[in-house]
């Protein structure tokens, strides 16, 4: 009986030690992360802040037509919520998956009464360090598919629908004018407003409404 008792004690102690090491290993394992920037394209939107799994990310807040820098977040399936800072209430939510070591843009589209959260993965790799890269993001709710071209020059992006973004296009470093059309309607015509640098990536963000208020406008996001 004494031998059986000693054996039972030994097994119990080993089980406790195994549980201890397993718990420590889980606690020591690093949590995977991704990087996220937020774009507020809500045409009637005020300052809004992103919550992820009910945690407020104070760095991820922007007013209409504005955006944030990239901020590190936990990867995996996450519940994203958008809070209207003025009303102090949640106006939109969606569960989305973010992969470890990837970069994303979270775009709020629509209006405060009908918010849609759209996640776009951003490829920030630089295949050619002597070149710059540019893409178009269309958050103009009443637009037709958009075309972006170098003024009096080649098309850089075509048929870019609302709530979508083109791929990054290679460009030589320098200053460029851009013409952006909604269907056949010119909405942006900027002489030498974009300065493209080597090893840089840019997004031309279009927000607002075509021929309505708030008027469609552009901003330049430096992704990298």
pLDDT at position 192, please?
Answer: 77
Q: What is the pLDDT of residues 65-119, one digit of tens each?
A: 999 999 999 999 999 999 999 999 999 999 999 999 999 999 999 999 999 999 9
**Cα Rg, the chain, nearest whole Å:** 24
Work out the widest C-alpha separation in the chain, in whole angstroms: 95
- Mean pLDDT of all residues in 151-170: 95
In the predicted structure, residue 220 carries a pLDDT above the cut 80:
yes
Print burial letters for 145-180: b (CB count within 10 Å at least 16), e (below 16): ebbbbeeeeeebbeebebbbbbebbebeeeebbbbb
Residue 2: per-residue pLDDT:
47
The confidence score (pLDDT) of residue 31 equals 64
Structure confidence at residue 191 (pLDDT): 80
Q: What is the pLDDT of residue 45?
A: 84
Is pLDDT at 153 greater than 50 in this prediction? Answer: yes
Q: Label residue 192 exposed, middle or buried (CB < 10 Å: 0-12, 13-18, 19+).
A: exposed
Q: Are the C-beta atoms of 127 and 142 separated by less than 8 Å?
A: no
């Amino acid at each position: 009986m004494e031998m059986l008792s000693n054996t039972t004690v030994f097994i119990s102690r080993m089980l406790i030690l195994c549980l201890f090491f397993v718990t420590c290993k889980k606690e020591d394992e690093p949590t995977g992360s991704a990087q996220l920037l937020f774009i507020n394209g809500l045409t009637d939107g005020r300052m809004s802040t992103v919550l992820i799994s009910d945690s407020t990310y104070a760095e991820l807040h922007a007013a209409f037509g504005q955006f944030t820098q990239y901020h590190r977040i936990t990867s995996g399936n996450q519940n994203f919520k958008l809070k209207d800072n003025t009303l102090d209430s949640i106006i939109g939510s969606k569960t989305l998956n973010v992969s470890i070591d990837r970069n994303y843009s979270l775009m709020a589209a629509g209006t405060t009464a009908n918010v849609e959260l759209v996640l776009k993965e951003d490829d920030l790799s630089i295949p050619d360090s002597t070149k710059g890269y540019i893409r178009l993001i269309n958050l103009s709710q009443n637009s037709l598919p958009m075309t972006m071209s170098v003024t009096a020059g080649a098309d850089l992006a075509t048929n870019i629908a609302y709530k979508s973004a083109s791929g990054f296009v290679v460009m030589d470093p320098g200053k460029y004018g851009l013409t952006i059309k909604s269907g056949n309607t010119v909405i942006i015509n900027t002489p030498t407003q974009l300065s493209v640098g080597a090893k840089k990536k840019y997004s031309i963000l279009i927000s607002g409404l075509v021929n309505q208020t708030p008027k469609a406008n552009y901003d330049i996001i430096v992704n990298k």
